[in-house]
Structure 1
Amino acid sequence: MNVEDIIKTNIKIPLHKRTIIHLSLVMNKIDEEVSTCLKPYEISIQQFNVLSILRGQKGNPANLSTINERMVSKMSNTTRLVDKLLLKGFVSRNICKQNRRKIEIQITKEGIKILEQIDGILFETEKKILENFNETELHELNTLLNKF
C-alpha cells in the first residue's frame, strides 16, 4: 500500500510521517530509474559514485577515506566497491611511495571512457525524472531540500 492508497482509506497519517514516506518513495523511484540507466554498463549507483569522485580528482589519486567521505550513500562498503571496479579495469590501486600504509586509488582510461558513455544517458534520465517540474519549481524544491 502506498501513501495515496492510505490517504484514500481516510486513515489519518500525521503530516510529518506522510512527508517522510513520500520522500522515501521518491528516493526509491529515483534509485530505480538511475539503476535502470546504469544496468547496461553493469555498474551500480555506488560504483558510479566512486568513479565520479575519482574523475573529479582530475588525475590525482584518492584514498579510501576521501572516497568514503564524498560518497552519496554513507552505507556503502568503499573497499568492496573499489575491488569490483578493479576487476572491471575502471580503477587502479597502488601503495603510496611516501606512506606505505596509504592506498591510492585512481580512475583508469577505461573508467573515464565508461563515464563518458554514461554521461549522456544519465543526463536524459535525470531530465525525465524531473520532467513534471518547471525551472521555478526546481529552484523552489532545491531551496526546500537545502533546509535538511
Structure 2
Amino acid sequence: MNVEERIKTSEEIPLERRTIIHIMLVANGINEKLAIALKPFDISIQQFNVLRILRGQNGKPANLSTLNKRMVSKMSNTTRLVDKLILKGYVERHTCPSNRRKVEINITSKGLDRLLKMDDVVSKTETEMLDQFSEHELKQLNLLLNQFKS
C-alpha cells in the first residue's frame, strides 16, 4: 500500500511520519475487518476482548481494574462495556462478599458458548488478513513491533 496514494497527497511524506501513518492505516483496516466479522453477533471488538479476558480468568472473577489493565485497547468506559454484556446475558456482576466496595465480574455459560462461536469467525478473519505472510515473515514482523516504543 502506498501511503501517499492512500491519503491522496502528491507530496512525499517524511519516512518517520509515513511509517506512523502506515501503521495507523493498517490498524484501522484490521479493526474494520474484525468489527465486520463480529457484527452478526451484535458485539464490539472491545466487548469481545472483555469476554476473552474473563474466559482467561478460568472461573476466577475479575474486577474493572483487571479488565482495564488487560484490554488491548485501553479505554475508560469499561463499566459501560460490562453493562452491555450483562444485558446480553454474557457476564454477571456481583459485589465481593469480603470487600463491599469491590465488584467482581464473571463470564456466564451463555457468554462462553457465544464466545466459542465468535472465536471461529475471528480466527478465520485473522487467517485471511495474514495469509499472504509466511510464518517467518510474521515472526520478523512481531520482532520489529516489539521494538516499538509506545
Report the TM-score when normalising by structure 2.
0.93
1:4 Cα shift? 3.7
Residue in 2 that maps onto 1:144: 144
Q: Is the contact between residue 4 and residue 12 of structure 2 (CA under 8 Å) also seen in structure 1?
A: no
1:17 Cα shift? 0.2
In structure 1, runs of 5+ residues without a counterpart are none
1:6 Cα shift? 6.8
Distance in 2, Cα, partners of 1:100 & 1:133: 50
3-state SS of paired residue (1:106): strand
1:75 Cα shift? 2.2
3-state SS of paired residue (1:79): helix
In structure 2, runs of 5+ residues without a counterpart are none
Q: Is the contact between residue 4 and residue 10 of structure 2 (CA under 8 Å) also seen in structure 1?
A: no
Residue in 2 that maps onto 1:118: 118
Q: How do 1:1-148 residues align onto structure 2 when only pairs under 5 Å count?
A: 3-5=3-5, 10-148=10-148
Distance in 1, Cα, partners of 2:139 & 2:18: 23
Q: State the number of aligned residues.
A: 147
Letter in 1 for 2:143: T
Letter in 2 for 1:42: D
Relative to structure 1, the CA distance from residue 98 to residue 9 in structure 2 (aligned partners, 3 Å threshold; closer, same or farther) is: closer
3-state SS of paired residue (1:104): strand
Report the TM-score when normalising by structure 1.
0.94
What fraction of aligned residue pairs are identical, expressed as a percent?
61
1:131 Cα shift? 1.4
Relative to structure 1, the CA distance from residue 96 to residue 55 in structure 2 (aligned partners, 3 Å threshold; closer, same or farther) is: same
4+ residue runs of structure 1 moved beyond 4 angstroms?
A: 6-10
1:33 Cα shift? 0.6
Distance in 1, Cα, partners of 2:71 & 2:29: 20
Relative to structure 1, the CA distance from residue 45 to residue 7 in structure 2 (aligned partners, 3 Å threshold; closer, same or farther) is: closer
3-state SS of paired residue (1:101): coil
Q: CA RMSD in A?
A: 1.6
Q: Is the contact between residue 51 and residue 107 of structure 2 (CA under 8 Å) also seen in structure 1?
A: yes
Relative to structure 1, the CA distance from residue 8 to residue 115 in structure 2 (aligned partners, 3 Å threshold; closer, same or farther) is: closer
Q: Is the contact between residue 35 and residue 45 of structure 2 (CA under 8 Å) also seen in structure 1?
A: yes
Letter in 2 for 1:75: M
Relative to structure 1, the CA distance from residue 9 to residue 64 in structure 2 (aligned partners, 3 Å threshold; closer, same or farther) is: closer
